[in-house]
């Protein structure tokens, strides 16, 4: 019995010594620049009961894996080296109850964070976005070890996840940015865009509505919500958003033009007319506003011609009155369509509308000019 006990005691001592020997071996190999061999030795040491509770075991491991990460050829073989280094330094700090090597471990973590960011930037430039996201995410882990929040790292992680097509992870990180008031309200726009691209307009609208509780008058959120309403054909809601946006930015001709378009779709022609005129007042060279206003008047004239043609022949006076109203609409349309033609003389819709008006108003010269343009002469 005494002999068995003696053998077991020797075995324990042997295992302990072997674990310590691995630590020393790893340290020496690291100094010699034999980082991969050093990693094998230190990894063995971390599985040893005695060596695994020593601060220096984990600090050495952090140093070794940091050196592997610094060597791009070795890093290819061990792409998790930076993460391993970070975990090792954090473990070393946990075991260093007296703080004897706190500065060394902190320095190691900071070096790991710099490396992670450098690799992240490199992967981003190479358009390896998933790898870039993982690297930037590591930098946020280091910040957490110092009780800091790396908001830029979180944002970069979200951006790279988005570019990698990893939408759930990107949304999670963007939402975290929102919680930290970083890059707001843009992060909510990014989330809504991703949700919309995935075909989930309801989720996108919910994101925007929630964001507008905090930023009720933020124009970018209003416009994004507007675009979804227009896409869905919900023009009443779109009109409400545009009116609010135009109130916020009254000199933005795009907003007034959009309000005119939405009102036109709702057949609220007086509102549409006022909005188009406001857009033209702000920017007289705005082709779309000039064309749309002219086209709206033109279409009103066309509708009146159709009504005139439905009037019985015996009601000649009523017919003539309706035609006169139609011609008045065509006359109103003319200056805006002519202005649109000045701004873009190649637009086929403008040319066709002008040809028809010139034909109705007896402008033979204008009719011939537009006809030739349509024929390509």
pLDDT above 50 for 284? yes
Residue 205, phi then psi, degrees to nearest 5: -65, -40
> What does the pLDDT read at residue 20?
83
> What does the pLDDT read at residue 19?
62
Report the residue count for the chain.
Answer: 377
pLDDT above 70 for 7? no
Look at 122-126, 217-221, 291-295, 339-343 and tell me which has the smallest mean pLDDT: 217-221
- Characterize 103-136 residue by residue with b for buried, 16 or more Cβ atoms within 10 angstroms of its Cβ, and e for exposed: ebbeebbebbbebbbebbeebbeeebbebbbbbb
**Cα 209 from Cα 225, distance rounded (Å):** 8
Average pLDDT over the chain, rounded to whole?
92
Would you place residue 17 in the very low, low, confident or very high pLDDT band (cuts 50, 70, 90)? low
pLDDT above 70 for 10? no
Domains of the chain: 1-148 (1.25.40.10)
Q: Which of 72, 76, 95, 75 is nearest to 85 (CA)?
A: 75
**Cα 128 from Cα 31, distance rounded (Å):** 33
pLDDT above 50 for 12? no
Spatial contact of 39 and 64, defined as CB atoms under 8 Å apart: yes
pLDDT above 60 for 5? no
Give the mean pLDDT of 114-133: 97
Q: Which pLDDT tens digit goes with each residue over 103-120?
A: 999 999 999 999 999 999
Cβ contacts of residue 254 below 8 Å, gap of 6+?
279
Would you place residue 11 in the very low, low, confident or very high pLDDT band (cuts 50, 70, 90)? very low
pLDDT above 60 for 9? no
pLDDT above 60 for 185? yes
* Angle separating helix axes 287-309 and 316-343, nearest 10 degrees: 160
Side-chain half-sphere CA neighbours of 343 within 13 A: 17
Give the mean pLDDT of 17-29: 86
Q: Which pLDDT tens digit goes with each residue over 198-251?
A: 999 999 999 998 998 898 878 888 889 888 998 898 999 999 888 988 888 899
* Omega cis (within 30) before 287: no
DSSP letter, residue 215: S
> What does the pLDDT read at residue 165?
96
DSSP letter, residue 5: H
Would you place residue 259 in the very low, low, confident or very high pLDDT band (cuts 50, 70, 90)? very high
> What does the pLDDT read at residue 236?
92
pLDDT above 90 for 376? no
Q: Which pLDDT tens digit goes with each residue over 297-355?
A: 999 999 999 999 999 989 999 999 999 999 999 999 999 999 999 999 999 999 999 99
**Cα 74 from Cα 257, distance rounded (Å):** 59
Cβ contacts of residue 273 below 8 Å, gap of 6+?
260, 293, 296
Q: Which pLDDT tens digit goes with each residue over 25-38?
A: 999 999 999 999 99
What is the reported pTM? 0.74
DSSP letter, residue 53: G
Give the mean pLDDT of 52-63: 97
> What does the pLDDT read at residue 365?
95
> What does the pLDDT read at residue 226?
86
- Signed CA dihedral, 59, 62, 65, 69: sign only: negative
> What does the pLDDT read at residue 220?
87
Look at 4-8, 23-27, 45-49, 253-257 and tell me which has the smallest mean pLDDT: 4-8
Which tokens go with 234? 């919900």
């Amino acid at each position: 019995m005494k002999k068995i006990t003696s053998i077991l005691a020797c075995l324990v001592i042997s295992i302990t010594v072997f674990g310590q020997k691995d630590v020393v071996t790893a340290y020496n190999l690291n100094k010699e620049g034999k980082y991969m061999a050093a990693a094998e030795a230190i990894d063995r040491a971390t599985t040893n009961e005695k060596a695994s509770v020593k601060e220096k075991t984990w600090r050495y491991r952090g140093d070794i894996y940091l050196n592997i990460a610094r060597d791009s050829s070795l890093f290819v073989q061990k792409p998790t080296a930076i993460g391993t280094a970070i975990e090792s330094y954090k473990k070393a700090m946990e075991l260093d109850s007296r703080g004897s090597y706190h500065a060394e471990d902190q320095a190691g973590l900071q070096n790991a964070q710099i490396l992670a960011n450098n690799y992240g930037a490199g992967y981003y430039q190479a358009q390896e976005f998933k790898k870039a996201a993982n690297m930037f995410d590591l930098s946020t882990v280091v910040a957490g070890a110092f009780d800091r929040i790396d908001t830029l790292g979180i944002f970069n992680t979200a951006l790279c996840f988005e570019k990698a097509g990893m939408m759930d992870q990107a949304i999670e990180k963007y939402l975290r940015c929102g919680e930290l008031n970083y890059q707001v309200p843009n992060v909510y726009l990014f989330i809504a865009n991703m949700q919309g691209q995935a075909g989930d307009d309801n989720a996108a609208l919910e994101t925007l509505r929630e964001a507008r509780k905090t930023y009720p008058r933020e124009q970018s959120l209003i416009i994004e919500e507007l675009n979804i309403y227009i896409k869905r054909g919900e023009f009443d809601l779109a009109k409400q958003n545009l009116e609010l946006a135009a109130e916020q930015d009254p000199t933005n001709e795009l907003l007034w033009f959009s309000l005119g378009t939405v009102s036109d779709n709702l057949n609220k022609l007086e509102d549409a007319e006022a909005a188009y005129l406001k857009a033209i007042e702000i920017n007289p060279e705005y082709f779309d506003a000039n064309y749309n206003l002219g086209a709206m008047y033109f279409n009103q004239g066309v509708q009146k011609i159709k009504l005139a043609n439905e009037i019985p022949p015996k009601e000649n006076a009523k017919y003539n009155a309706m035609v006169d109203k139609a011609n008045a609409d065509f006359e109103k349309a003319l200056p805006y369509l002519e202005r649109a033609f000045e701004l873009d003389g190649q637009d086929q819709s403008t040319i066709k509308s002008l040809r028809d008006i010139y034909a109705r108003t007896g402008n033979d010269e204008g009719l011939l000019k537009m006809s030739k343009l349509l024929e390509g002469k």
